[in-house]
Structure 1
Amino acid sequence: MKKKPFFLMAIAVVIVAAVVIYALNSSSPQEPIARKEHDIISNLNAKDIVAKMNDKEKIGQLVMYTPLRNQESFSKEMIQEYYIGSVLLNDQKVSAKEAATFNNQLQQWASESRLGIPMFITGDLEYGAAQRVPGEATVLPRQMAIGATQNVEYAYQAAKITAAEAKAMGFHWSYSPVADVYSNPLNSVIGVRSFGEDTKLVNEMVAAEVKGYKSEGMISSAKHFPGHGDTSFDSHTTLATVTYSEDVLRKVHLPPFKTAIDQGIESIMTSHIIIQAIDPELPATLSKKVLTGLLRDELGFQGIIVTDAMVMEAISNNWGAGEAAVMAINAGADIIMANGSASDQLDTVDSLYQALQDGKITRSRIDESVERIITYKLENKMFDHRFVDIDHATMVVGSKDHWEISEQIAQDSITLLKNVNVLPFDPQTNESTLIVSVAYAEQIAETVRKVSKGEVISYQAARATGEKLDVSQESIDAALEQAQSADRIIVFTYSDSQIAQGQIDLVNQLQGTGKPVVAVSLGNPNDILGYPGVSAYLATYALDTWYWMTPIPVSWDAAVRVIFGANPKGKLPVTISSAYPLGFGLSYP
């Protein structure tokens, strides 16, 4: 009996030795020690994961790269050699299946890196997943259209639909809602992307969208902090300065961001504009006074601060992508949106890495941001749920239920501003209708054919390929010739701030035919200021400054239905003039 403990001890020693020998013999030379780190990393907290990362891996988490078309090797290199932690997807010529497949591939490459940290997959999804997958995903009305409905529930539903479709394809993060208060009618870059000019309305809509994203477990991002709504220059091309007082900043522009923070929004995107009242020297993206002093310390935001695109000329022309990236991190940003060419993106990574080695960025500043990023990846269970079901994605994206909600939002947004005994048109007569438009004329005509019994003719009055649309007198003459054989005319105009003179002439000369004329603005609702004598006028808020990128047919379809009898319900979310004030909107008797 006394020999039993010794006998058991001997057996235990043999077992332990056998386990060690087995482990040594079974270790494949192709499987590095790092793979063992990969196996346990998802079970650690963010601080412990950061402690296991080397400098190159940490810098990678601070950079969001943009894939280059038809260059998958670049994506693989960025993920596996530079350990990039986030990706911005801009390609608009993909299907839901292709998007989900590509996103799975990105996550596969990330899983094969040393620590296997998953990637944030992000995109601008202001009007739905269709902004990235326009052929299949549900197209939602622009935010100003939602503002025109005055229905907060619609903002919630729009965000929820966006999140459901985007998540099904592997996205984690939407750069929406736009929290900018549209206080300058010459602001072409924001325009109909804003909910409107009323801070209270914007607050309510922003809060609802944050809730909608959260309901589907998707990260959202309020932009463009601390407010891009009062600029008259586009920061894609110009470094703008806003000169309003600090009081205006705090009363008008900051509240929607504070509302988003109070709702627990995970991310805020910076603006590339100089807020003179806070920092007269540096744009918000590069300003410690704005990002750390105002956003972190005063407003108490603890989420991820992501920069807007750093190749926008407001930044790149003045500092360069690399130098600006270092400045932004030191100012308090967590993730640098590095897009542009391969050299631009690599310059961002290299500049940040070298700045860390040279002590231009402190290790504590880097670790703070990396820990915040990893925390959100853990909270979103990205380590355990890296991939999406491609078949499921194709079922969710563009579902019938989603389209029905989008169509209802659009229908309730159409705003009738003027009607001098013209509307509604009778859809049952055999009268012919001429559709004249500066964009999407034939697509709009197809909608009219569905609701109108008479003949429908379309004429595209402008064929510009650039950002601005105008109409030549030759085109106007052609439209007038078409009008001779039409019984009634619907003319669609577009502007992102001020309507071009050629479009004004087009409407006025069509009005001069003496036939019933209805004008419809596809973009900024201010178009009526250019042709105040028109008999009837509706606003759709359908197209922003990048009108050619994704059409919004639900909005012009809704306008057509109103023209042919559906009751208009929209109310102006902006002031056009004393005749058309905030909240104005007619309806049929």
Structure 2
Amino acid sequence: MKKMSALFSSVLLSSTFLLPLSASADQSNGKSDPSITSSNRVVERIVAHMTDKEKIGQLVMPSTHDNTSKMPDDTTRQLIQHYKAGSVIVYGARDARTTAKYNNQLQKWASKTRLKLPLLVSADLEFGTKQHVTDATPFPRQMGIGATRETKTAEDVAKITALEAKATGFNWNYSPVADVNTNPANPVIGVRSFGEKTNLVSEMTAAQIKGYQKKGVVATAKHFPGHGDTSVDSHLGLAAVTYDRHTLETVHLPPFNAAIDAGVDSIMTAHVIINAIDKELPATLSKKVLTGLLRKEMGFKGLIVTDAMSMHAIAKEWGAGQAAVMAVNAGADIVMATGNLDEQLETYDALFHALKSGQLSENRVNESVKRVLALKIKYKLFSDRYDDPEEAVNVVNKPSHKETAAEVARKSITVVKNEKILPFNPAEKKNTLVTGPIIYGSTNFINNIASIVDEKSAGNVMSYTTSTDSKDTEIQQAVQLAKQADQIIVPTFSPSELPAGQAKLVKELQKTGKPLVAVALGLPYDIKQYQEVGAYVATYAVERWGSPVPTSWKAAVDVIFGTQPGGKLPVSIEGLYPYGTGLTY
């Protein structure tokens, strides 16, 4: 890929900070890796020339702020140039060309600081770069990838995501989710997890880490030491898990051990109290968890980044400044400052004053700064920080990427139940009713599925969207429409518990006697609330924020109309369907 050359500071050049990383050394005689040795020398020389303000800047990751053109605004420039931010997290949705320009602008501002240190530019790209780049490739959610049971598939998805991320200027991805989703009612992890079995999650986590990092993007195992058994969304409140140390070590920690063994370069903390380790503080703020467990017991030497510190689990209890100091003292290397500008500046100021006052030791700060700089050198950001916006468009729109995503989606779709209902025949001119709920205020989900059915089927298609918790009057209307239909598709959605109205909608339509298939768009547990349904398909396509993954529900429609499904349940549906259930035609 064509890159614009990076700018180096005269200070760096004159001080020979950037030594060649190919210095000779005889590894056969047991000497250290020459590239690591040279990198360490570079890092030591940079740190020796840094001011306290520059050091603190490397420990803070602000979220960026945008102008009306969806480009970074002057506030963001000040965070980078005045407060010396060493990394950023980018939100929002832009096309590939705009995203590359956006991230180039961030790097250009960083290049005009005294040391011209490049930025780590991060984002949550859990289901592909599509999560923040509108024309990029959307892949199935991690639970869907878990349903394929193929570690090669997991790695391939990560490789393509990394290629598209790197082309658009992202060098750090907050993925994979290494949480084992042992609580079916978990309100925040759910389909973001590979599944409920520790071995499956461990294998898939390791595979994705290798995929991301082979293609030049930092991978992140999250949320340490496990967010899969919580019943509280840490965006909204402080969760605590009460299981014992044995459960922690045998169920929730193995995926993180697998991540470390796979060479993961960063691990993200969970805003969750782990009673077995520290009954007082969430993992993000706990030295027992971050330094005692992760560093000393598990031997992790990479970079520890906090989850977003604006989440209520932290912000409401401790506030941005105090929490930032506590997190770094606990062992975190980068504090993710995602609140408003005042909270971001409070984070900088609190860390700076803590260093000056001795509340944060110089050694503790230097440890983290060195890890951050070493990561930037490892990923060649000093010489390769910019991206060509036109080339970015080409990379994210490669037909082969879209084809891979479609195939992975097909392999993920799980036919859980089928009492001679499926497949529907696309060649028959049968009328199909597609009816289901508004999802997070949007009718696009049901309408889009209906459009895909219309393309697939020779017959006519009717579409009707109900409230999220379908009302009796809406159910009656759906039943009336069903009289004109020959077959019915009912998507349902639950981020945790299925609304009673959706279950009633399925049950009442089932009574019409028309061939009916229910399609779980979110968690695969919906069938517990309408067990009498004749056919049931799980897609794992939508998480608790309602982020759409049309690749998955398009694959579900293909399966409904005869394409061979490939998925096996990566979770059990208690009392009904065991882990591994997956029917074929």
Asked whether the two chains share a fold, i.e. TM above 0.5, the reply is yes
* 1:107 aligned onto 2:107: yes
1:557-576 superposed Cα distances (whole Å, 9 cap, x missing partner): 11111111112221100011
Partners of 1:38 and 1:114 within 8 A in 2: no
1:525 is paired with a residue whose SS is coil
* 1:445 aligned onto 2:450: yes
1:45 is paired with a residue whose SS is helix
Match of 1:13 in 2: none
| 1: CA distance, partners of 2:79 / 2:18 | 22
Match of 1:384 in 2: 383
Match of 2:269 in 1: 270
| 1: CA distance, partners of 2:163 / 2:282 | 34
Deviation at residue 58 of structure 1 after TM alignment: 0.2
Match of 2:155 in 1: 156
Once the two structures are overlaid, the 10-residue window that deviates more, 477-486 or 428-437, is: 477-486
Match of 1:280 in 2: 279
Partners of 2:528 and 2:576 within 8 A in 1: no
Match of 1:91 in 2: 92
| 1: CA distance, partners of 2:477 / 2:395 | 45
Match of 2:335 in 1: 336
1:277 is paired with a residue whose SS is coil
Give the letter for the 1:313 counterpart. Answer: H
| 2: CA distance, partners of 1:355 / 1:345 | 15
Alignment length (residue pairs): 545
Once the two structures are overlaid, the 10-residue window that deviates more, 435-444 or 314-323, is: 435-444
Match of 2:3 in 1: none
Deviation at residue 321 of structure 1 after TM alignment: 0.8
Match of 2:523 in 1: 524
Give the letter for the 1:569 counterpart. Answer: G
* 1:78 aligned onto 2:65: no
Give the letter for the 2:59 counterpart. Answer: L
| 1: CA distance, partners of 2:201 / 2:377 | 31
1:396-436 superposed Cα distances (whole Å, 9 cap, x missing partner): 01311111111001001111111112111111111100001
| 1: CA distance, partners of 2:149 / 2:9 | 54
Selected match of 2:548 from 547, 551, 564: 551
Partners of 1:292 and 1:332 within 8 A in 2: yes
Selected match of 1:575 from 550, 572, 575: 572
1:426-461 superposed Cα distances (whole Å, 9 cap, x missing partner): 111111000012241111111111211000111112
* 1:225 aligned onto 2:199: no
Selected match of 2:47 from 17, 39, 50: 50
Give the letter for the 1:42 counterpart. Answer: L
Give the letter for the 1:560 counterpart. Answer: V
Partners of 2:172 and 2:217 within 8 A in 1: yes
Written as runs of structure 1 = structure 2, the 5 A alignment for 1:122-161 is 122-133=122-133, 135-161=134-160
* 1:246 aligned onto 2:268: no
1:450-489 superposed Cα distances (whole Å, 9 cap, x missing partner): 2110001111123xxxxxx322222212212221211111
1:316-362 superposed Cα distances (whole Å, 9 cap, x missing partner): 01000110000000000000000121101111001100111111000
1:391 is paired with a residue whose SS is helix
2:183 is paired with a residue whose SS is coil
Written as runs of structure 1 = structure 2, the 5 A alignment for 1:340-489 is 340-438=339-437, 439=439, 440-462=445-467, 469-489=468-488
Partners of 1:322 and 1:351 within 8 A in 2: yes
Deviation at residue 523 of structure 1 after TM alignment: 0.2
Written as runs of structure 1 = structure 2, the 5 A alignment for 1:307-318 is 307-318=306-317
Match of 2:38 in 1: none
Give the letter for the 1:105 counterpart. Answer: Q
Partners of 1:490 and 1:520 within 8 A in 2: yes
| 2: CA distance, partners of 1:520 / 1:539 | 6
| 1: CA distance, partners of 2:406 / 2:513 | 33
Written as runs of structure 1 = structure 2, the 5 A alignment for 1:473-512 is 473-512=472-511
Match of 1:177 in 2: 176
* 1:120 aligned onto 2:125: no
Deviation at residue 215 of structure 1 after TM alignment: 1.6
| 1: CA distance, partners of 2:167 / 2:201 | 28
* 1:36 aligned onto 2:41: no
Deviation at residue 188 of structure 1 after TM alignment: 1.6
* 1:69 aligned onto 2:66: yes
Give the letter for the 1:430 counterpart. Answer: K
| 2: CA distance, partners of 1:37 / 1:437 | 62
Q: Please list every run of 5 or more consecutive structure 1 residues that lacks an aligned counterpart in the other structure.
A: 1-33, 463-468
Match of 1:303 in 2: 302
1:177 is paired with a residue whose SS is coil
Identity %: 52
Give the 3 Å change call, closer, same or farther, for CA 421–36 of structure 1 in structure 2: closer
Give the letter for the 2:47 counterpart. Answer: V
* 1:585 aligned onto 2:561: no
Give the letter for the 1:74 counterpart. Answer: T
| 1: CA distance, partners of 2:52 / 2:473 | 63
Deviation at residue 247 of structure 1 after TM alignment: 0.1
| 2: CA distance, partners of 1:279 / 1:406 | 41
1:371 is paired with a residue whose SS is helix
Query: Which of structure 1's runs of 4+ aligned residues deviate more than 4 A?
Result: none
Partners of 2:436 and 2:502 within 8 A in 1: no
Match of 2:27 in 1: none
| 1: CA distance, partners of 2:9 / 2:397 | 39
When Rg is computed on C-alpha atoms for both structures, the one with the higher figure is: 1
Give the letter for the 2:247 counterpart. Answer: V
1:71-95 superposed Cα distances (whole Å, 9 cap, x missing partner): 6101100011000000000112x11
Deviation at residue 579 of structure 1 after TM alignment: 2.5
Q: Please list every run of 5 or more consecutive structure 2 residues that lacks an aligned counterpart in the other structure.
A: 1-7, 20-40, 440-444
Give the letter for the 2:85 counterpart. Answer: I
Partners of 1:181 and 1:199 within 8 A in 2: yes
Deviation at residue 35 of structure 1 after TM alignment: 5.3
2:380 is paired with a residue whose SS is coil
Give the letter for the 1:459 counterpart. Answer: Y
1:585 is paired with a residue whose SS is coil
Deviation at residue 578 of structure 1 after TM alignment: 3.2
What TM-score comes out, normalization by structure 2 length?
0.92
Deviation at residue 496 of structure 1 after TM alignment: 1.2
Match of 2:538 in 1: 539
Once the two structures are overlaid, the 10-residue window that deviates more, 509-518 or 216-225, is: 509-518
2:336 is paired with a residue whose SS is strand
| 2: CA distance, partners of 1:154 / 1:459 | 35
1:481-517 superposed Cα distances (whole Å, 9 cap, x missing partner): 2212111110000001110011011111111111111
| 2: CA distance, partners of 1:77 / 1:103 | 15
| 2: CA distance, partners of 1:111 / 1:568 | 50
| 1: CA distance, partners of 2:499 / 2:105 | 45
| 1: CA distance, partners of 2:529 / 2:576 | 14
Deviation at residue 230 of structure 1 after TM alignment: 0.4
| 1: CA distance, partners of 2:529 / 2:78 | 52
* 1:236 aligned onto 2:241: no
What TM-score comes out, normalization by structure 1 length?
0.91
| 2: CA distance, partners of 1:478 / 1:397 | 42
Deviation at residue 38 of structure 1 after TM alignment: 4.4
Give the letter for the 1:52 counterpart. Answer: H
